[in-house]
């Protein structure tokens, strides 16, 4: 069976219901042990949609970078983050939702309908919104947001890797790879690690001999 690809049908449905500005929203970075969680909100122009939009995880790094540049020029985009401190204080789900809320709030003009990737609408989002499970593979706007969020966060982790060499963040983006776990044990915990995440917590608070 041929894999499905995103299209503009959910956006067209919102337009048919009376909306005129539809934002797709997605986040990246729930699973890593280090770095922020990053969200993007994208409002596409129906007559100027970049070709090849898809779930960012299904694209090569080179294709993501190329589409990122196109989206930034051809759509309205807002990117926002929740910090490591906020992740540790709030929990990762609430921090991810906070980043989404900030991304939507950062748009130049408020959308009148929001398509959210996932199964929960962030509590702080007061605009009309709907959840779309696996939305980055279903709706162009969410796919575009997934690309922007991932490329932005990956670039942040590359920059942080230069400040804290040895953890491989330029390759693993802070996710718990074997080499990252090994580096945590050998080099210790940085200010960019999430202390509420078990592998980091265990290293910080392991019993002293």
Residue pLDDT, tens place only, 135-189: 999 999 999 999 999 999 999 999 999 999 999 999 999 999 999 999 999 999 9
* Known binding residues for a divalent metal cation: 26-27, 117
* Known binding residues: 26-27, 117
**Residue among 1, 90, 14, 76 nearest 41 (CA):** 76
| Average pLDDT of the residues of the chain | 95
pLDDT for res 209: 40
Domain 9-151 top-level CATH class: alpha beta
Cα 144 to Cα 15, 37, 148, 198: the distances in Å are 18, 17, 6, 32
pLDDT band of residue 3 (cuts 50, 70, 90) is low
pTM (predicted TM-score)? 0.95
**H-type helices in the chain, by residue range?**
9-16, 61-74, 84-90, 92-105, 140-163, 169-172, 178-187, 198-204
Give me the residue spans of the domains in the chain. Answer: 9-151
State the average pLDDT over residues 70-94: 98
For 77, which DSSP code? Answer: E
């Amino acid at each position: 069976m041929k894999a499905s690809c995103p299209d503009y049908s959910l956006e067209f449905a919102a337009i048919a219901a009376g909306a005129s500005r539809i934002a797709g929203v997605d986040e990246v970075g729930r699973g890593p042990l280090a770095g922020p969680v990053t969200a993007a909100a994208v409002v596409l122009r129906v007559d100027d949609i970049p070709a090849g939009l898809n779930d960012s995880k299904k694209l090569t790094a080179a294709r993501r970078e190329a589409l990122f540049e196109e989206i930034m020029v051809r759509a309205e985009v807002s990117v926002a983050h929740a910090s490591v401190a906020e992740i540790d204080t709030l929990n990762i789900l609430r921090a991810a939702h906070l980043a989404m809320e900030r991304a939507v709030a950062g748009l130049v003009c408020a959308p009148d309908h929001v398509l959210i990737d996932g199964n929960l609408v962030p509590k702080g989002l007061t605009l009309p919104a709907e959840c779309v499970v696996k939305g980055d593979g279903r709706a162009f706007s969410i796919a575009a947001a997934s690309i922007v969020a991932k490329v932005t966060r990956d670039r942040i982790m590359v920059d942080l890797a230069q400040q804290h060499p040895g953890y491989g963040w330029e390759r693993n983006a802070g996710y718990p790879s074997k080499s990252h776990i090994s580096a945590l044990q050998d080099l210790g915990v940085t200010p960019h690690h999430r202390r509420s995440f078990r592998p980091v917590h265990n290293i910080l608070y392991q019993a002293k001999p």
